[in-house]
């Protein structure tokens, strides 16, 4: 779990560091793309938050942690998958026009 959250943080930092305003122009110029981007960012933020909460609750030798964290872990997994799919659709829309 630590690796997954760390990978998400590194990916987020990479995207922020390498994206300039010219690269955002195709996203911000079309309302559909902007909406997809906003939904992708919202789900990504929620999944990152859920992952951080899950890590904050983690206790290595706890016997009750698996029971307490099951719902948060499931929510985190679902949010990660949704974020990936939305990002994939956004990428295909921007770079191939597949969904337009």
Quick: pLDDT tens for 51-98: 888 888 877 777 777 777 888 888 888 998 999 998 888 888 877 867
Nearest of 35, 28, 27, 43 to residue 75 by alpha carbon: 43
Q: Model-level pTM? A: 0.73
Cα 93 to Cα 16, 19, 36, 47: the distances in Å are 20, 18, 10, 23
Measured in residues, the chain has a length of: 100
58: left (phi over 0), alpha (psi -120 to 50) or beta: beta
- Round to whole Å and give the CA distance between 64 and 50: 19
Which residue in 69, 90, 72 sits closest to 80, CA to CA? Answer: 72
Confidence of residue 99 (pLDDT cuts 50, 70, 90): low
């Amino acid at each position: 779990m630590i690796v997954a959250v760390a990978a998400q943080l590194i990916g987020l930092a990479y995207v922020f560091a390498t994206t300039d305003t010219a690269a955002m122009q195709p996203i911000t110029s079309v309302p559909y793309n902007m909406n997809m981007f906003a939904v992708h960012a919202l789900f990504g933020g929620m999944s990152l938050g859920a992952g951080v909460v899950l890590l904050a609750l983690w206790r290595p030798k706890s016997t009750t942690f698996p029971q307490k964290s099951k719902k948060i872990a499931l929510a985190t997994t679902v949010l990660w998958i949704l974020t990936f799919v939305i990002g994939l659709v956004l990428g295909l829309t921007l770079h191939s026009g597949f969904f337009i």
